[in-house]
Structure 1
Amino acid sequence: MKIAIVHDYLNQYGGAERVLECFLDLFPNAPVYTILSDLSKMPARFGQVDIRNSYIHSIPFSKKHYKKMLSLFPTVIEQFDLREYDVILSSSSAFAKGVITSPNQIHICYCYTPMRYVWDLYHQYIQEDVKNPIFRMVLPFILHKIRMWDLITAQRVDHFIADSKSISRRIAKYYGRDSDVIYPPVSYDNFKQAENTEEFFLIVSRMIPYKRIDIAIEAFNKLKKPLVIIGDGYDRKRLESLAGETITFLGRQPDEVIIEYYSKCKGFILAGEEDFGITPLEAQSSGRPVIAFGTGGALETVVDNVTGVFFNEPTADSIIEAVRKFESIAFDSSAIRKHAHGFNENRFKEEILNYINTAIQQKEHSHE
């Protein structure tokens, strides 16, 4: 069976791209179709991948200004000619699932979330994230059309895999489709448990508004406790302007540095609602407990009072209360690591492979 992979973009490295790496481990000869790529921001292994970019990739300055071409993306994704493949595996939080396939092909979508800025984060995106007033006026008309396209293209998928129960519920709500849950992988073996930890708390995240790093900064300003923030993004300058003397920004860091900080932190902070959230599992793979916003994917990866604690309101005061509760608990690092092991890469690859093989068998039997 010939398989092709379709991925939204390859211009940043996050949880979705780690999932993609597992797909490539399973199917090393599969080409990856994507809207555009920037390999300077990707791990070296992607230089060896058969990446097939859309024409957007060739437009001057597209790597920097691709979001301004949003209205083109539905048409762009439909231009990929996938007729030679038996199985299409789309890796999608936006447009990848919209590829056109035939009745003889199997399209399996691994869905990180229905497109957030046209569904559950629509009003926040328009009112808070978009700064250009002209773009803000035009954008609702563009997003309305994309929302309709998103709903229609959800019916093209043969099988949906959700990355969490939370996302499975969103797929049912917005698309009216059933889905199966296969949790994303954590690179468990890459992380280590340090003998001695330090007093700082840690955030590893892209710096974008919905991550709510701002309320974590406010909380740690009030607590006057050390908070280290690793990552980058367009919201970084604003966040740095909010930070007091106990907050340290390290920017983007290589994996070995991040692993070291995970192993030595007192605790990990997840301030925003995540669809699944791989970073809390990376912290737990290092034996470190988590303070997480008690909603979304965190409810499926953090065990309250065992591998971390939750805060219930997206406010600095709620985080402060959680930090104080956190510091009253004697966490067992070995138990935390054992919990994280249940999300390891080998488990993920086995479940994905079994799922695809079952879908193929069902297709064959339907033709008998």
Structure 2
Amino acid sequence: MQTRQPQYRPGRVAIVHDWLVVNGGAEKVLQALASAFPDAEIFTLVNFMPAGATPWLERHVVHTSSLQRLPLARRFYRHYLPLMPYAIEQFDLRGFDLVISSSHAVAKGVLTHPGQRHVCYCHTPMRYAWDMKEAYLEDAGFRLPFVETYVRHTLKRLRQWDFFTAAQVDTFLANSHNVARRIAKYYRREAEVLYPPVDVDAFALHQGPREDYYLAASRLVPYKRMDLVVEAFARDPQKRWLKVVGEGPEFKRLARLARGHAHIELLGYLPASELEPLMQRARGFVFAADEDFGIVPLEAQACGTPVIAYGSGGALETVKGPEHGETATGLHFARQTPESLRSAIDDFEQQAFSPLACRTQAERFSHRHFRQRLGALLTRKGS
């Protein structure tokens, strides 16, 4: 007689998320967690999501911290980083049995009590306090005397707090093997890998003819390295056609880089209904960021579109290179330089990639797989 796997029943659930400002990759994970626990209450430092942007939140009670009411918090919430550890520790979670923190900054530092279980879904340890500290100082313009000294001291205190609060987590779940290695390095803790869910059903497989353009899409912020992509195509002697989708603080600089190059189009923000057909018809999708995971390359693969990605971070786990033979879904370039990317594009055009193989790869990261593995991990770790 076959025995059924016992269903995990966590009791009252609290989900703690760093902040709700944009609907990015971390928020897609939050949405999946909220769907898995429909009665959970959500705790977050600030909630400035535009009305109607997150209809899935409406059925949940959402608690915010004291930072929500501070001056100019809507625009400058990141400047309150030194106050965030204190703010996250003020949430009262005594009435909950299971606490799930969705953390890329301070959410994992929430205080729990004996008898409660704290599971941290870690998107990454706080990168601007650890491995991206120098880049953070440069991008934020903190290279001034005394200011830089103060910021370095603040980041040192944050690293100490971040390390010590890791001991309060019962179970770490990492969004990739890449992040699991970082958790082991900085926190001295082991983590199970649970890949973020990709809404593959929202993207239809296209196996028909492709148009002769490449596509890049992301928020236009410095670490996404969209400048590298635009420069590579601007200097391309073959003048391959590039379409860039996204908005953000880098838009004006990218527009200057693209000026005079008619084969480069900056399309700004596009809704999913317009982005999908662009993905379906593109010759290839270009991804130059060193991401912890990276959902958009998988959305492109869900459309059957192969990817040219920087060979670091999560892309090494989501994009299968030519060494995989018929199941290859793209290739990686070795350095974050325009020359390395152009060389990869030349190699890309000498290969043939199966749209069906791309779709199959994307389906390994579906919502269904996320829910199944989450339930299995919680059951196993809770036994």
Common fold: TM-score over 0.5: yes
Distance of 2:279 and 2:58 partners within structure 1:
28
Q: Does 1:49 align with 2:49?
A: no
2:152 corresponds to which of 133, 136, 140: 140
The within-5 A match list for 1:120-159 is: 120-130=131-141, 133=144, 135-159=147-171
The within-5 A match list for 1:195-344 is: 195-223=208-236, 224-244=239-259, 245=261, 246-305=263-322, 306-344=328-366
| TM-score normalised according to structure 2 size | 0.91
Aligned match of 2:93? 82
2:71 corresponds to which of 54, 60, 63: 60
Aligned match of 1:364? none
Distance of 1:207 and 1:228 partners within structure 2:
13
Q: Which has the higher helix share?
A: 1
Q: Contact (CA 8 Å) 1:204, 1:279: kept in 2 or not?
A: yes
Please, which runs of 5 or more residues in structure 2 have no aligned partner?
1-10, 323-327
Distance of 2:149 and 2:211 partners within structure 1:
48
Q: Contact (CA 8 Å) 2:279, 2:303: kept in 1 or not?
A: yes
Distance of 1:35 and 1:135 partners within structure 2:
25
Distance of 1:48 and 1:3 partners within structure 2:
14
Q: Contact (CA 8 Å) 2:142, 2:151: kept in 1 or not?
A: no
Change (3 A) 1:175 1:202: same
Please, which runs of 5 or more residues in structure 1 have no aligned partner?
362-368
Aligned match of 2:48? 38
Q: Does 1:183 align with 2:195?
A: yes
| TM-score normalised according to structure 1 size | 0.94
Aligned match of 2:124? 113
Aligned match of 2:84? 73
Look up the equivalent residue of 2:235 and give its one-letter code.
K
Q: Contact (CA 8 Å) 1:276, 1:296: kept in 2 or not?
A: yes
Measured against aligned partners, the alpha-carbon deviations of 1:223-281 in whole angstroms (never above 9, x if no partner) come to 22222222222222222222242222222222212222211211111101110111111
2:24 corresponds to which of 6, 10, 14: 14
Q: Contact (CA 8 Å) 2:279, 2:305: kept in 1 or not?
A: yes
Distance of 1:183 and 1:284 partners within structure 2:
16
Distance of 2:141 and 2:291 partners within structure 1:
21
Aligned residues: 361
Q: Contact (CA 8 Å) 1:129, 1:209: kept in 2 or not?
A: no
Distance of 1:155 and 1:342 partners within structure 2:
32
Measured against aligned partners, the alpha-carbon deviations of 1:189-228 in whole angstroms (never above 9, x if no partner) come to 1101233322221112111111111111110101222222
Task: State, as a whole percentage, how many aligned pairs show the same letter.
Answer: 40
With 204-213 and 321-330 compared, the bigger mean Cα shift is at 204-213
Distance of 2:246 and 2:150 partners within structure 1:
31
Shift in Å, 1:51: 1.3
Shift in Å, 1:135: 4.8
Look up the equivalent residue of 1:105 and give its one-letter code.
Q
Aligned match of 1:349? 371
Secondary structure of 1:40's partner? coil
Q: Contact (CA 8 Å) 2:286, 2:308: kept in 1 or not?
A: yes
Measured against aligned partners, the alpha-carbon deviations of 1:16-55 in whole angstroms (never above 9, x if no partner) come to 1111111111111111100101121733333443211111
Distance of 2:271 and 2:58 partners within structure 1:
17
Distance of 1:3 and 1:279 partners within structure 2:
29
With 222-231 and 74-83 compared, the bigger mean Cα shift is at 222-231
Secondary structure of 2:159's partner? helix
Shift in Å, 1:132: 7.6
Measured against aligned partners, the alpha-carbon deviations of 1:315-338 in whole angstroms (never above 9, x if no partner) come to 000000000111111111111111
Distance of 1:340 and 1:303 partners within structure 2:
11
Q: Does 1:165 align with 2:182?
A: no
Secondary structure of 1:39's partner? coil
Look up the equivalent residue of 1:110 and give its one-letter code.
Y
Measured against aligned partners, the alpha-carbon deviations of 1:159-181 in whole angstroms (never above 9, x if no partner) come to 00011111110000001001111
